[in-house]
A and B are shown apart, each in its own frame.
Chain A
Amino acid sequence: MNLQGKTALVTGASRGIGREIALELARLGANVVVNYAGNESMAAAVAEEIKALGGECFIHRANVADSEQVQQMVKETIDRFGQLHILVNNAGITRDNLLMRMKDSEWDDVMNTNLKGVFLTTKAVTRQMMKQRDGRIINISSIVGFSGNAGQVNYSATKAGIIGLTKSTAKELASRNITVNAVAPGFITTDMTDQLSEEVKQELYKQIPLGRLGEPKDIAKTVAFLASDNSSYITGQTIHVNGGMYM
């Protein structure tokens, strides 16, 4: 696989899965824009690693839930690289609580970042991708958008919502050679899952046929495939990367 000469924008790329996606796309030769919300030093460290690989890269702070900030980020990407082929909508947060205890703000925060963020970023890149007649949009959903999860009514709703958004966008943009797909990770070792207790993890292993949590690189490799020419006839689909936990 080769992404030489392509430009990729990865949201939430300062840590976890997004970081690994940014690195993987850079290894394959893409220019990468590393988006982050606040963690500048971590984003800068990702950029350093990419530069060490010989890749072109810059970091850009933007809240994906803010229309103006997103438009500015896309504009800077195009000003700098002249084009934009790959968008990975990876930024996401959790605000877990039982339904009965969930605050409106917990619902709204997760909706805004996880779902509205995907809408705004996708909308912002579409003009350029339509002009190019070439685009790859990859949205990071989650296993819990399919299976549900106690304590995550807000989060699981956004992750299921991403699937509808993915399919509708795929239908709208297919005629312009833009593919739109989703990747639904199972439980992956990142800051998001480090919060789980050892007990919970032991329970989890029993539910995962492959018997381990996933690694960020398991997701990154799948995203790279969907960003590459090898997947040019795939659109509107979801690839589940979960060790067999949900089939």
Chain B
Amino acid sequence: MSEVLERVTKIIVDRLGVDESKVTLEATFKDDLGADSLDVVELVMELEDEFGLQFSDEDSEKILTVGNAVDYINSKL
């Protein structure tokens, strides 16, 4: 597992209280991981802190799956 995916997975597991095995690249935050809109906003906040990045509002709206988040972070690092 890439280092980014590992760190992202840890935050998702902590924040959403889901089983690590459910956190796949294809998993959608809302449908597969049970997050509501505010949970997603909070996750993005935590990812910003974790990776020292700023996600613009437009970019944040496009992050629907775990893979989207990992790709986005990789593209900014």
Interface of A toward B, CB cutoff 8 Å? 127, 130-131, 172-173, 175-176
Contacts and interface: CB of A to CB of B under 8 A. Distances in A.
A127 B42 CA distance: 8
Contacts of B77: none
B38 A172 contact: yes
A127 B45 CA distance: 8
Main secondary structure of the interface of B (DSSP, over half): helix
A130 B42 CA distance: 8
B7 to A, nearest CB: 18
6 closest pairs, A vs B, by CB?
Answer: A127-B45, A130-B42, A175-B38, A172-B38, A176-B38, A130-B45
B38 A131 contact: no
Contacts of B38: 172-173, 175-176
A127 B38 CA distance: 11
A109 B17 CA distance: 46
Nearest to A131: B45
Interface residues of B, number: 3
B54 to A, nearest CB: 12
Interface string B14-55: 000000000000000000000000100010010000000000
Contacts of A130: 42, 45
Given A127-B45, A130-B42, 6 more contacts: A130-B45, A131-B45, A172-B38, A173-B38, A175-B38, A176-B38
Contacts of B42: 130
8 contacts: A127-B45, A130-B42, A130-B45, A131-B45, A172-B38, A173-B38, A175-B38, A176-B38
Nearest to B46: A131
B34 to A, nearest CB: 14
A74 B55 CA distance: 19
Contacts of B45: 127, 130-131
Nearest to B49: A131
A92 B38 CA distance: 30
A88 to B, nearest CB: 23
Nearest to B36: A175
B52 to A, nearest CB: 15
Contacts of A173: 38
A75 to B, nearest CB: 13
A50 to B, nearest CB: 31
Nearest to B41: A130
Nearest to A128: B45
A184 to B, nearest CB: 28
A130 B15 CA distance: 13
A172 B38 CA distance: 8
Interface in B45-76: 45
A65 to B, nearest CB: 19
A131 B38 CA distance: 12
A217 B42 CA distance: 37
